Amino acid sequence: ILWRMMRKQEFIHDLFLQWAEKYGPIVRVNAFHRVSVMILSPEGVKEFLMSPQYPKDRLVYGPMFNIFGERFLGNGLVTVCNHEHWHKQRKIMDPAFSRTYLMGLMETFNEKAEELMEKLEEKADGKKEFSMLTMMNRVTMDIIAKVAFGLELNALSDDQTPFPRAVTVVLEGMTKQRIPLMQYMPGKQKLVKEVKESVRLLRRVGKECIDQRREAIQNGKEATLDILTQILKGDDDESILDNFITFFVAGHETTANQLSFTVMALGQHPEILERVQAEVDEVLGAKRDIDYEDLGKLTYLSQVLKESLRLYPPVPGTVRRMEKEHVISGVRIPANTTLVFSTYIMGRMERYFKDPLTFNPDRFSKDAPKPNYCYFPFSLGPRSCIGQVFAQMEAKVVMAKLLQRFEFQLVPGQSFKLLDAVTFRPLDGVMCKLKPRSPARGCQA
């Protein structure tokens, strides 16, 4: 079944969800000549993810090291499996994600989100149809390039820039690489060639960027505290490049997917859209630049973004290796088993969320019970996402400006299905039509 679904690009995770509802919180899956166990109980999630003693599984993260023989994510922060190696990297990176540093990013978040608003204004005649996912990918790419590496990529203003396409192609390559012998199949050579070229392009740009920064530092220029400065403290050039690629790809693509899914959900729920727009109007009025303090006041918008991550998590889960035999929820699990954890599946299970398929941001209001260990869009424990606060600040700024300035409508006839392309993204790209909001409501910049 799994092979057939993968070949047809069907969404396999809904089948796993059915199994979870039918067979309970511990589900054994025999696939691709190996046994994996899905752990879908809060106790299991807590036990395995909160502890540093269960490493990420090489069988799963290893294939991201190379794609079709080209080094891609290598031993970067996401894919490195050895705990000591990971810990050393994480300690080096932490200062670039401190609260003080993140507060200083508001200027760039505002500037790039404003550029997105200008681009959207050109389309806002109520008739032009465009993909919100494409636009979100470009703005988040411009943001990560600027704040992480000091690069002006101008993906928003330059339609010819090769980077958005390169990232899409590489992720497609990662998905296709799951199919054994894929690179030798007839008819796939063109894709394999394009994937390899895209990986080389991204690593080449990374190398140029790293060399320029090194030269500037050697010439006595003061190093800006950003992600690149921290990456440069790595052990060797290849590892430094691994982290450049890791932050460049992971640092924009997931947030673009989250923002697009949020637009998709709001477009389907006008009453929620109206409520979140009213909050934005109250907090921001006609103000152009959003302050760090404003973000804390946009509480309903936070709930909307969290609920979007529950139903549509861009990263569906994580995988661990259990080296010793273990009993969990009364089930004996043999040594050397791959453990799969899925926030996508748990977020849609009736036992953890009432009416799980209903988009309801009130689940995350401050009085609602907290969903402990069954909601983890940024993973949990020591290997949770280093960029979690960064991503949510960025998402809030972009989303708040979009809600402040525009009325949007989803183009009828599109599917609202998910596509598994390493990360989850909206299959049809969230096709929209926009109109400026009327100044009478105090929302014109």
376 φ/ψ angles, rounded to the nearest 5 degrees: -150, 65
Rg (CA), the chain: 22
267 close to 220: Cβ distance less than 8 angstroms: no
Query: Nearest-CA neighbor of 245 among 199, 194, 196, 314?
Result: 199
* 379, two tokens: 């993973």
Pairing of strands 337-342, 406-410: unpaired
Q: And the tokens for 293?
A: 């303090």
Nearest to 394 by CA among 90, 147, 30: 147
Burial zone of 385 (CB within 10 Å; 0-12 exposed, 13-18 middle, 19+ buried): buried
Element (H, E) at 322: strand 317-322
In 32-156, DSSP assigns E strands to 34-39, 66-67, 70-71, 130-131
CA angle at residue 363 from 356 to 301, to 5 degrees? 115
- Is 385 marked as binding a ligand? yes
Q: Contact, 33 vs 440, CB < 8 A?
A: no
Q: d(Cα 391, Cα 395) in Å, to the nearest integer? A: 6
Cβ(429)–Cβ(134) below 8 Å: yes
Give the DSSP letter string of 339-365.
EEEEHHHHHT-TTTSSSTTS--GGGGS
Nearest CA-CA partner of 135 in 112, 149, 119: 119
Q: Please give the annotated binding residues for heme, written as ranges.
A: 385
Q: Please give the annotated binding residues, written as ranges.
A: 385
